[in-house]
Amino acid sequence: MTIAVRPEYATRYSDPRVHQYVFTYDVTIENVGGETAQLLWRHWLIHDPVAGDHEVEGEGVVGEFPVLRPGEAHRYQSFCVLRSPNGHMEGFYHFRRGDGSLFRAPIPRFHFHAPPEAAGTLLN
């Protein structure tokens, strides 16, 4: 599996005056292997310099358990709320192959950065 993530600052839902920075992220999971696999579980490590580090895990992704045949991709969007204008996430997905064996696919670290004008409101 290859996993690519594209984060974006969500100005509309953020409120820097109360230290609420909302980021959306688009995830693309592509099966580059030779076997069909189903995503079962997600595990995220979230780094927020203000609120501290925490982990989030659970079944599927946004209520789905996609089955990916070789060459297929699954895309979804989710979000993260930080108390800091900057942070990062990383983690892994658990998959099950057709023969029942399990494997982990790492989610590479990606960074959140609010624009300078949003982060600057903390100084006012």
**Per-domain boundaries in the chain:** 2-123
Secondary element (H or E) of residue 35:
none
The 3-state DSSP class for residue 120 equals: helix
What contacts 54, CB < 8 A, 6 or more positions away? 46, 48
Residue with tokens 């599927």: 60
What contacts 3, CB < 8 A, 6 or more positions away? 27, 28, 29, 30, 93, 105, 106, 107, 108
User: Across the strands, what pairs with 20?
Assistant: 15
Per-residue pLDDT of the chain (124 residues; tens, 9 = 90+): 999 999 999 999 999 999 999 999 999 999 999 999 999 999 999 999 999 999 999 999 999 999 999 999 999 999 999 999 999 999 999 999 999 999 999 999 999 999 988 766 544 4
* Class of the CATH-defined domain 2-123: mainly beta
Contact yes or no for 37/6 (Cβ under 8 A): no
User: Across the strands, what pairs with 97?
Assistant: 37
What distance in Å separates the CA atoms of residue 66 and residue 116, rounded to the nearest whole number?
Answer: 37
What does pTM read for this prediction?
A: 0.90
